[in-house]
Amino acid sequence: VEASIPEPQRDAWKKHSAQGFTTKEQFEDETVRHVETTLARSLFNCDELAAYSGASLAFRDRLVIEWNRTQQRQTFADQKRVYYLSLEFLMGRALDNAMLNVGLKDVARAGLKDLGFRIEDVISQEHDAALGNGGLGRLAACFLDSMATLDYPAWGYGLRYRYGIFKQEIVDGYQVEVPDYWLDFNPWEFPRHDITVDIQFYGHVSRHEDEDGKNIAVWEGGEIVDAVAYDVPIPGYQTTTTNNLRLWSSKASKGEFDFQKFNSGEYEASVGDQQRAETISAVLYPNDNLERGKELRLKQQYFWCAASLYDIVRRFKKSKKAWSAFPDMVAIQLNDTHPTLAIVELQRILVDLEGLDWAEAWNIVQNTFSYANHTVMPEALEKWSVPVMQNLLPRHLQIIYEVNSQFLHMVEKQFPKDRDMLRRVSIIEESQPKMVQMAYLATIGSHKVNGVAELHSDLIKTTIFKDFVKIYGPDKFTNVTNGITPRRWLHQANPRLSELIASKLGGYEFLTDLTKLNKLEHFLDDKDFKKEWQEIKYANKVRLAQHIVNTTGVRVNPKALFDIQVKRIHEYKRQQLNILGVIHRYLTIKAMSAEERKKLAPRVSIFGGKAAPGYWMAKTVIHLVCSVGEVVNNDKDVGDLLKVIYIEDYNVSKAEIITPASDISEHISTAGTEASGTSNMKFVLNGGLIIGTCDGANIEITREVGESNIFLFGNLAEDVEDLRHAHTYGNFKIDPDLAKVFDAIKGGKFGDANRFSALCNSIIDQGDYYLVSDDFNSYIKTHTLVDEAYKDQDAWLEKCITSVSRMGFFSSDRCIQEYADMIWNVEPLVPEQRNGK
Ligand code: Z57
């Protein structure tokens, strides 16, 4: 029952209703008030962190007001909503984003200056919200920004990890993981202790007759854990729409913890129970593109899916509509297979708890869900062991078997006598132990399945989902090429470039319609414009050089070509190809005469990214980069011609400094392995060029910017299988230049060669699965083309500006529009104040 204020007293409420600041004076009032009262500090005791806290609380108040209004409006409008289920939301910092989205950053800058602070210093106090590993989590964050900006009634659902992705320290050239406890002071979340859901695990299933004599399944026993909601406001850009991200935190259930054991004197046991319950949302699994099948991970998944579904169903039931209207009111988007249990949970709710017929329920389920696939790599595809699932979720396993049985019957009718087809498409893999294939379950339980770039969407149709295309027809499978939010990745990360563009295009409309950038091509002959563009790039490089010297002690020349590869460390992303290429460059420089060296363009090779803690090969790559840097950076023969840098703890806020500073960035995955990539888009949008393979979204970037504005190299996806086959059957001959690089490593040039032997051998005599040797020559040659091109600064600049002008397609707004129209079938809910404040 909701408690609302009676009619006669509502005027008093309205009179005193919170307003939120708009002027500089009001901002200062609010900031000082929060510092003095909320934080109990004073002007004698206010450091940058306190100023950050005060300013954040002032902005938070503003957000909350619009957030409440948005939620009321959405409830009242009673139209279809989107629920975006993602196990990761890599949000980064919130204050700068809030300032820009509500259009009050200038007010805040002036106010903070009055109070004795520089806005940049205040902003940089904030700890990143790092509830994600990499691309998949950051995509979810960009989507939240676009959904709010486009006024879609949309909620995100995730887990409130106490520890996000670990903080990376580089100690003696090795990665060390440090826990990321980020909740000490987090003004952006609102605990909702009144919104809790009981989540059941383990136990057993029995059958009962209900009042109508119908046989129903009852899931009994086991244990209960509470899910507590924490809400985070998501402000749209230049709109009052402020959506909600609901993160669930696990807690021992009141009934189980407080009373049973505590009162019977089993204090220690009850504390143990409490800790076990809290473990569920304690830590983000730090693997990107790898599934390890741990029971706790499955617990996380069910905990979050069940809490979210309960919440969604509760909201629907308030509308008193018939169940058949559920898919007209609810669209649930699955970010990869991690939330696939939500499909099973909804079927369970409808059949076991609400008493619907199986077929009617399944029809509702299929029309509600859609599934985005983000990888084809076998080691990343989720499979859960049947015994593990039987133990943890006995009723869900029964439902999965029933879904599978009905599905296989359908397939059998369609393809009589094709036994092998039945084996291939079965949700249950007949291995030892049996496994539940989550991608198949997600596909069968959804009305649409999409890949995240054209090549990737084509690949899934011919590989993992080939049979499913035959069964359901091609229309169930579609493509939505990823995008990025231009608010964070241009306006926030690169304010000067954004301002320059606005000055030419006559305003900031490009931030909400990125295709407007194409007008920049009219200014390719504008000398002042080009000069300023170049100055901005230089200033961004100076800023990164400053960060590098502060954190590593190495001085890099900002006039050198900045060559950047920042992303998770993974063999398929081929940082090893990059560093081996760097060694080749180093050997070449060493062999040159002084005269030849003068003709060379100075380079800074910058690496950054985290390795999963258990991924030894990735950690070896980090160590090799650091070891090469140690030698190269201290070699007097080389000087500024080559520097090799490892940036520690790459994350969203560091990406905002790194991305605008690149001349060329590396997106060099083995063709067919990177589903899309999204940093490629960020770098080009910030006026950097790309060296890349024909993989993921690189292909569409090429289509947009033109082949002459990108440096493509390497084998094509269609040839990868044959090349691997050739390696296995003895036709492998290592590239001669690469062989020289290995000789240098083995000769101890970069320290103890034993440390790198597994890495070298994976290429030399373990089949070179990622085709480093096959692509090496093409890679080196293409880098030579990059050197040449960079010498003609005018032509280079023209490539950069032209590329930026053609990046409109890669806005996550376009992407969300496509999901909304083709997959979710939802309409925006536009508030009265769309552009005005
Ligand atoms: C992850 O970050 C991605 C895919 C996964 O299956 C998992 Br698990 C984590 C990434 C892809 O590797 C990128 O290519 C893609 O751009 C990103 O997801 C967003 O779609």
> Bridge partners of 178?
167
| Model confidence band, residue 1 (pLDDT cutoffs 50, 70, 90) | very low
Quick check: CB of 139 below 6 Å from ligand 1? yes
Q: What is the pLDDT of residue 210?
A: 84
To the query of whether residue 727 is one of the catalytic residues in this protein, the response is no
Residue nearest to atom 1 of ligand 1 (CA): 136
From 395, 516, 567, 643, the catalytic residue: 567
Q: What is the pLDDT of residue 267?
A: 83
Best residue among 289, 373, 573 to mutate for probing ligand 1's pocket (most ligand atoms within 8 Å of CB) is 289
To the query of whether residue 239 is one of the catalytic residues in this protein, the response is no
Mean pLDDT of 194-200: 97
Residue 250, phi then psi, degrees to nearest 5: -95, 145
| Model confidence band, residue 116 (pLDDT cutoffs 50, 70, 90) | very high
> Which domains, from first to last, does the chain contain?
78-93+128-479 (3.40.50.2000), 559-804 (3.40.50.2000)
> Bridge partners of 775?
none
Residue nearest to atom 16 of ligand 1 (CA): 677
Atom of ligand 1 nearest to the CA of 456: 14
| CA pair distance 198, 200, nearest whole angstrom | 7
The single-letter DSSP state of residue 563 is: E
Quick check: CB of 445 below 6 Å from ligand 1? no
| Model confidence band, residue 523 (pLDDT cutoffs 50, 70, 90) | very high
Looking at per-residue confidence, does 496 or 835 come out higher?
496
Answer yes or no: is pLDDT of 820 > 50: yes
Scanning 330-448, the segments in alpha helix (DSSP H) are 341-348, 358-368, 386-392, 394-414, 419-425, 438-444
Quick check: CB of 339 below 6 Å from ligand 1? no
Characterize the bridge pairing of strands 477-479 and 448-451: parallel
| Model confidence band, residue 731 (pLDDT cutoffs 50, 70, 90) | confident
Quick check: CB of 135 below 6 Å from ligand 1? yes
To the query of whether residue 781 is one of the catalytic residues in this protein, the response is no
Characterize the bridge pairing of strands 204-209 and 215-220: antiparallel
Question: CA-CA distances (angstroms) from residue 5 to 9, 18, 101, 319, 525?
Answer: 7, 16, 32, 21, 64
CA-wise closest residue to 165 among 147, 179, 175 = 179
Whole-number Å distance, alpha carbon 451 to ligand 1 midpoint, is 11
Mean pLDDT of 554-568: 98
Mean pLDDT of 568-573: 98
Q: Collapsing DSSP states into helix, strand and coil, what is residue 102?
A: helix
Residue nearest to atom 7 of ligand 1 (CA): 289
| CA pair distance 336, 429, nearest whole angstrom | 20
Q: For the complex shown, is ipTM > 0.85?
A: yes
To the query of whether residue 733 is one of the catalytic residues in this protein, the response is no
For residue 500, the surrounding DSSP H or E stretch is helix 495-505
**Which of 12-26, 574-588, 611-625, 658-672 is the least confident region?**
12-26
Q: How far is CA 182 from the centre of its chain?
A: 18
> Bridge partners of 664?
563, 689
Average pLDDT, the chain: 96
To the query of whether residue 584 is one of the catalytic residues in this protein, the response is no
Mean pLDDT of 532-558: 98
Answer yes or no: is pLDDT of 3 > 90: no
The model's pLDDT over 777-803, given as tens digits with 9 standing for 90+, comes to 999 999 999 999 999 999 999 999 999
Q: What is the pLDDT of residue 2?
A: 62
Q: What is the pLDDT of residue 836?
A: 45
Q: What is the pLDDT of residue 263?
A: 67
Quick check: CB of 451 below 6 Å from ligand 1? no
The model's pLDDT over 629-646, given as tens digits with 9 standing for 90+, comes to 999 999 999 999 999 999
The model's pLDDT over 595-604, given as tens digits with 9 standing for 90+, comes to 999 999 999 9
The rounded percent of the chain whose pLDDT value lies above 70 is: 98
Q: What is the pLDDT of residue 730?
A: 77
Whole-number Å distance, alpha carbon 335 to ligand 1 midpoint, is 10
Whole-number Å distance, alpha carbon 459 to ligand 1 midpoint, is 15
Q: Angle 48-77/95-102 helices, nearest 10 degrees? A: 50
Residue by residue, DSSP assigns 310-352 as HHHHHHHHHTT--GGGHHHHEEEEEESSTTTHHHHHHHHIIII
Best residue among 86, 90, 371, 375 to mutate for probing ligand 1's pocket (most ligand atoms within 8 Å of CB) is 375
Q: What is the pLDDT of residue 261?
A: 65
Q: What is the pLDDT of residue 671?
A: 98
| Model confidence band, residue 837 (pLDDT cutoffs 50, 70, 90) | very low
Residue by residue, DSSP assigns 71-89 as HHHHHHHT--EEEEE-S-E
Cα Rg of the chain, angstroms: 28
The model's pLDDT over 668-687, given as tens digits with 9 standing for 90+, comes to 999 999 999 999 999 999 99
Atom of ligand 1 nearest to the CA of 697: 16
**Virtual CA dihedral for 440, 442, 445, 447, nearest 10 degrees?**
-110
To the query of whether residue 568 is one of the catalytic residues in this protein, the response is yes
